Amino acid sequence: MTMAGYLAVSFTGLASRNSAVDSRSWVCGAPMERLCNNVEWSKSKVPGGVRAVLQVGSEAKEGLSKNVEGVLGLDVVSESEPREKGFLSMGKTKLVCTIGPACSSMEDLEVLALGGMDVARLNLCHNTREWHLDMIRKIKKLNKEKGFCVSVMIDTEGSQVHVVDHGAPSSIKVEEGSIWLFTAKKLDGSSPCTVQANYPGFSEGIKIGDELVIDGGMAGFQVIEKIGHDLKCKCIDPGLFLPRAKFSFWRDGRILERNNELPTLSTKDWADIDFGISEGVDFIAVSFVNDSSAISCLKDHLSSKSPKPIRVLAKIESLEALHNLENIVEASDGIMIARGDLGVDIPLEQIPTVQEEITYICRQMNKPVIVASQLLESMVEYPIPTRAEVADVSEAVRQYADALMLSGESAIGSYGQKALSVLRLASNRMESWSRYEGRQVLPHKRQLGLSPSERIAEQICNCAAEMADNLGVDAIFVYTKHGHMASLLSRNRPNSPIFAFTDEESTRMALTLQWGVIPLFTDLTDDMEFNVIKSADLLKAKGVIQKGDAVLVVSDVTPTSSASSTAFQSIQVKTIS
Ligand SMILES: Nc1ncnc2c1ncn2[C@@H]1O[C@H](COP(=O)(O)OP(=O)(O)O)[C@@H](O)[C@H]1O
Ligand SMILES: C=C(OP(=O)(O)O)C(=O)O
């Protein structure tokens, strides 16, 4: 036998059958009281009925686990982590790696997976369809054959005004005082100091005297003449022109907000999305989202075309997106703070506060958030990061971002694996420092659910996370169909790892992006007691949990059988025996 019995407090009658708790003296009163106070629960309002139960246990229910057997889809990295580090020190912040030529072999990908890569990102603006197909297949093969749980994210190219040709194959130096022509016309190959933009309307509304800034400050020009739709400019801030460099325009010291007519999802993007659907990717990150309409449109497309749920992330990389932030977060399944392009559209000094604000809003609205770009940029070339980069990574972890992303560091850098281990070490360090120093900031949590059952689920997770911290349990177990309960727990950023058991493969893969959640695939039955015992036995058999470990179990399961339509929502505290 693995799991223990229960003290049950039912929501309908709120009757405590046994107020005694076991030898470890776990407390159930206070959180339960709060749970009840905060929920205006009315049985008659709940479709099909909801049973919410708090259970605290120590009595052994002998025999229940005798026939337990089954498969537990626990990935190899999560299996070894608690054994090596202990539960509390397990990494909570998820890690995303951009896959590129520097990490495209099976061996490279395996090293990244072993190093803690949770999500592999493929940026479809680079390389060929065949190359990306090969990468997706390799990652899926690794998961299948080597037991990893790495999800696949494709990132659309999107439409933005950028340079298509600046007369050189790579970067080019821009000298102070040099005169350049910016045009949308195709270059004939021999036009020095001429730059071709991808969008004919790039110069609309621009006046003589305006400043044209490249890639957020790589170089700067002043417009000295308008020739038709072309701009003649003088370099006032020397620097570098990179391939695909982006423009921003400034007037009187302020950035000009410009709505171009480029669609968020181009014809190429739609073709790439259908490719992603056919290859069964887990996430689609949409570039240059300006409002929620592109996200809603993509979600409609996915619900009719994709045989499995694919999560849609909005990349926040424009001023317009910031104006529509809450609507975009609401419409999406998650957010990427694309600091690279965002730094072209807003002044660089605003990036840190904007990042903190977006991270906060995402947590309020219970959507996972990735902090992306230039986290360890110097590691594209050097084997160690700058101290400032480590501080930047730590700050994103302190802000409780769900995930951190490597870009060029893993895609083209010489030290991708090292960069990943720097992310891991720096995030582990900040997570444990915040925990031991009690520096965790617990913001007021916005109420999310509207229906009674949604509100109960939310309150159960809030209280369960608080209980888990107060009791110092070793792990939290949650049983979840679509990942909602797991995400509600994760939103509370509890100290213990959250083992999320699901029988939906797409839920398992989506949870790879959620802070502190270890997703596991297992069969779930309508018998919650059996599910708990079975999953505990399987984790025990793998050496992940041990006798004496305290586990807080949260469930929100609507039975599949027609015999009972009652949802079973509960918190139980168990000792592994
Ligand atoms: N699939 C790929 N093939 C070739 N190069 C890639 C690929 N993915 C990324 N890169 C390289 O890595 C760099 C970082 O990639 P990414 O994070 O997509 O940022 P960005 O496109 O904004 O530069 C890119 O500039 C590109 O040089
Ligand atoms: C992640 C980003 O997007 P991309 O790599 O597509 O430029 C970014 O701009 O920070």
127 ligand 1 Cβ < 6 A: yes
Cβ–Cβ under 8 Å, residues 101 and 412? yes
269 ligand 2 Cβ < 6 A: no
Which atom, in ligand 2's list, is nearest to the CA of 336?
Answer: 1
Residue 452: pLDDT band by 50, 70, 90 thresholds?
Answer: confident
Q: What is the pLDDT of residue 42?
A: 34
Nearest 5 degrees, angle CA 381-CA 385-CA 390?
150
Q: Which residues pair with 230 in a beta bridge?
A: 227
Greatest mean pLDDT among 51-55, 279-283, 529-533 lies in: 279-283
Residue 564: pLDDT band by 50, 70, 90 thresholds?
Answer: low
| Of 41 and 466, the one with more pLDDT | 466
Return the SS3 of 237. strand
Residue 81: pLDDT band by 50, 70, 90 thresholds?
Answer: confident
Cβ–Cβ under 8 Å, residues 197 and 184? yes
Question: Is pLDDT of 58 > 80?
Answer: no
**Which amino acid, one-letter code, is at 166?**
H
CA of 411 to the centre of ligand 1 (A): 6
Cβ–Cβ under 8 Å, residues 569 and 464? no
408 ligand 1 Cβ < 6 A: yes
Which atom, in ligand 2's list, is nearest to the CA of 407?
Answer: 5
Cβ–Cβ under 8 Å, residues 96 and 118? yes
| Of 69 and 58, the one with more pLDDT | 69
Indicate if the alpha-carbon torsion angle 488, 491, 497, 500 is positive or negative.
Answer: positive
Predicted TM-score (pTM) of this structure: 0.86
What is the Cα–Cα distance from 341 to 363, expressed in whole angstroms? 23
| Of 181 and 27, the one with more pLDDT | 181
Question: Is pLDDT of 76 > 90?
Answer: no
Tokens matching residue 478: 């949650």
Question: Is pLDDT of 48 > 70?
Answer: no
Q: What is the pLDDT of residue 61?
A: 38
| Of 186 and 176, the one with more pLDDT | 176
Cβ–Cβ under 8 Å, residues 96 and 153? yes
What is the Cα–Cα distance from 570 to 9, expressed in whole angstroms? 9
335 ligand 2 Cβ < 6 A: no
Question: Is pLDDT of 66 > 50?
Answer: no
CA of 373 to the centre of ligand 2 (A): 7
Question: Is pLDDT of 38 > 50?
Answer: no
Tokens matching residue 237: 């801030």
The model's pLDDT over 109-144, given as tens digits with 9 standing for 90+, comes to 999 999 999 999 999 999 999 999 999 999 999 999
CA of 445 to the centre of ligand 1 (A): 37
Crossing angle, helix 293-305 and helix 267-278, to 10 degrees? 40
Nearest to residue 468, comparing CAs of 93, 91, 87? 87
Cα 72 off chain centre by:
24
- H or E stretch at 35: helix 29-38
Number of neighbours of residue 508 by Cβ within 10 angstroms: 24
The model's pLDDT over 383-393, given as tens digits with 9 standing for 90+, comes to 999 999 999 99
Tokens matching residue 112: 């990244």
Residue 563: pLDDT band by 50, 70, 90 thresholds?
Answer: low
Ligand in nearest proximity to the CA of 285: 2
Q: Which residues pair with 51 in a beta bridge?
A: 568
Fold of 8-77+447-575: Pyruvate Kinase; Chain: A, domain 1 (3.40.1380)
Question: Is pLDDT of 345 > 70?
Answer: yes
Q: Which CATH superfamily is domain 163-255 in?
A: PK beta-barrel domain-like (2.40.33.10)
CA of 155 to the centre of ligand 1 (A): 11
Number of neighbours of residue 400 by Cβ within 10 angstroms: 24
Question: What is the C-alpha end-to-end distance of the chain, expressed in Å?
Answer: 7
Q: What is the pLDDT of residue 1?
A: 35
| Of 528 and 134, the one with more pLDDT | 134
Q: Which CATH superfamily is domain 92-159+262-436 in?
A: Phosphoenolpyruvate-binding domains (3.20.20.60)
Cβ–Cβ under 8 Å, residues 284 and 273? yes
Question: Is pLDDT of 238 > 70?
Answer: yes
Question: Is pLDDT of 284 > 80?
Answer: yes
| Of 332 and 1, the one with more pLDDT | 332
CA of 406 to the centre of ligand 1 (A): 10
338 ligand 2 Cβ < 6 A: yes
- From the number of C-beta atoms within 10 Å of its C-beta (0-12, 13-18, 19+), residue 436 rates as exposed
Q: What is the pLDDT of residue 253?
A: 86
Cβ–Cβ under 8 Å, residues 546 and 540? yes
Tokens matching residue 541: 């058999």
Residue 71: pLDDT band by 50, 70, 90 thresholds?
Answer: low
Domain map of the chain by residue range? 8-77+447-575, 92-159+262-436, 163-255
CA of 296 to the centre of ligand 2 (A): 21
Which atom, in ligand 2's list, is nearest to the CA of 339?
Answer: 10
Return the SS3 of 475. strand
Phi, psi (deg, nearest 5) at residue 160: -150, 150
98 ligand 1 Cβ < 6 A: yes
Q: Which residues contact 497 (CB under 8 A, 6 or more apart)?
A: 82, 87, 90, 92, 475, 476, 516, 517, 518
What is the Cα–Cα distance from 297 to 76, expressed in whole angstroms? 37
| Of 47 and 21, the one with more pLDDT | 47
Phi, psi (deg, nearest 5) at residue 509: -70, -35
SS3 for 188-223 is CCCCCCEEEECCHHHHCCCCCCCEEEECCCCEEEEE
Which atom, in ligand 2's list, is nearest to the CA of 157?
Answer: 6
Length of the chain: 577
Across the range 186-203, mean pLDDT stands at 84
What is the Cα–Cα distance from 506 to 284, expressed in whole angstroms? 13
CA of 473 to the centre of ligand 1 (A): 42
Question: Is pLDDT of 408 > 90?
Answer: yes
341 ligand 2 Cβ < 6 A: yes
Largest CA distance in the chain: 86
What is the Cα–Cα distance from 402 to 486, expressed in whole angstroms? 13
Across the range 433-449, mean pLDDT stands at 77
Cβ–Cβ under 8 Å, residues 146 and 76? yes
| Portion of the chain with pLDDT greater than 90, in percent | 60
| Portion of the chain with pLDDT greater than 70, in percent | 83
- Give nearest CA residue, ligand 1 atom 14: 408
| Of 43 and 313, the one with more pLDDT | 313
Question: Is pLDDT of 259 > 80?
Answer: no
Ligand in nearest proximity to the CA of 373: 2
CA of 90 to the centre of ligand 2 (A): 29
Q: What is the pLDDT of residue 558?
A: 67
Question: Is pLDDT of 68 > 60?
Answer: no
Across the range 93-120, mean pLDDT stands at 97
Q: Which of 53-67, 343-357, 376-390, 514-528 has the lowest mean pLDDT?
A: 53-67
Cβ–Cβ under 8 Å, residues 552 and 573? yes
Question: Is pLDDT of 424 > 50?
Answer: yes
Question: Across all residues in the chain, what is the average pLDDT?
Answer: 84
Q: Which residues pair with 479 in a beta bridge?
A: 501, 555
Across the range 561-575, mean pLDDT stands at 72
CA of 255 to the centre of ligand 2 (A): 20
Ligand in nearest proximity to the CA of 160: 2
Q: What is the pLDDT of residue 525?
A: 84
Nearest to residue 313, comparing CAs of 274, 374, 352, 367? 367
- Give nearest CA residue, ligand 2 atom 2: 338
